[in-house]
Structure 1
Amino acid sequence: MSVSPSLLPLSVIVTRLRAAGCVFAEDEARLLVSAAGTPADLTALVDRRVAGLPLEHVLGWAEFRGLRVAVDPGVFVPRRRTEFLVDRAAELAGPGAVVVDLCCGSGALGAALVAALGRAELHAADIDPVAVRCARRNVAAVGGRVYEGDLYEPLPAALRGRVDVLLANAPYVPTEEIGLLPPEARLYEPRVALDGGADGLDVQRRVTAAAAHWLAPGGHLLVETSEHQAPHTVEAFARHGLLPHTATSDTHDATIVIGTRPTPA
């Protein structure tokens, strides 16, 4: 049951949200009203949002590529710009593809890709146990499995050389720039999902170094990065035997690098 706006006037909610710095206060107010079961619930939801919690953590879900993805407190919130990475992955894969989602967070990328393909063998992994618990709910809904551990370490050995699409939305914010992130990310999302080391590319390098061993011939690794980091990511891909190219989207304000394992001559 949703709460009638008259129990807590929508205008009051909007005013409180706007004063707290919420740019889309009207849209957020409507979402909070629809999520509340009682007037007390609504007050609590608004209070949490005004206190600075990400809207997705307050609601318990995020919209990602048409899916409603569960997002628990303390879990990285999937960004809308990352939909571009899934769009490109969907163009490269076919139904029945073997998909791995590393640094999966909530599992949004893998779940959205399977939804786009209609059928796929999905495996996902994350080092954060809180993220893994959340991802299992989202990934199980599309028939996939989630493993807890560092990058490739927890994956079944039988996947080596079989992966058609490897998604790795690894953290790529340089350590010194973490403090410049919006408070919603800096205070409420796990640092392990944000901090990419001195130049932001530490985790990407580790993903890239082993990718060719897991990809099938003709398989693809896709990572999100920034425009100024992309040339360094391209160099790393080439150094580890992948054929790289960069793709950008003005609509999503996104930059990704795609690396393909060559097929035997």
Structure 2
Amino acid sequence: MDPNHKLREAKEKPVVDKRMYQRLVGRLIYLAHTRLDIAYSVSVISQFMHDPREPHLQATYRVLHYLKGNPGKGILFKKNNTLALEAYTDTNYVGSLVDQRSTTRYCTFLRGNLVTWRSKKQNVVARSSVESKFKVIAQGLCKLLWLKIILDDLRIKWDGPMKLYCDNKSTINIAHNPIQHDRTKHIEIDRHFIKEKLEEGVVCMSYVPSKHQLADILTKELNSSMFHDLVFKLGIEYIYSSA
């Protein structure tokens, strides 16, 4: 996606073939299940399937052009003897220009390898960036707990807490602070759930600078250098031989 141009409803622009647009985007949604590098772009263009216009179609063609130039990319799993279970969480507060809703983004890693990710618009409008952050942290934590259950079922020994990374220090401080504040009462359920798991030692929260926030690729438009840097860090490489 072009970082200098955000997609929005474009009633004044020419109408495009709705069924053709829906078929294209539908196939990209299917492909995005294994191609994290297009997940954000696909989540954006899929918001206009009810009334696609020329700018939306051009953005879709941009995704197809990227895929044509990178046909052999996939997730490469590498050997790692350290059994670490981690999650990077992020959200773009009121990121949607259509309805002002934030979008939940997280990705999880096992032994340093990407195993799950999600990019989904939140069901309600968040009244603050902290509320939006707590929603995604709670969902990322639930995903970590689900992965831990799978490891337990496979009888894989697990030592130490899971790690959850967030790029907002205020959110981390509130999660650890037992004092209730009037400004955070509307997020008490998520806050108490997170705090409970922190006190049990199941998970530990750590601050990660925005430049090292791997979930950014699911959150917003990035320039080319940042995008390709995150793609590499996520383990998305050319997995097929050119032969």
Higher RCO (CA-CA < 8 Å; seq separation 6+): 2
TM over 0.5: no
**TM band (smaller chain):** under 0.3
What TM-score, normalized to structure 1?
0.26
Question: What TM-score, normalized by structure 2, do the two folds share?
Answer: 0.28
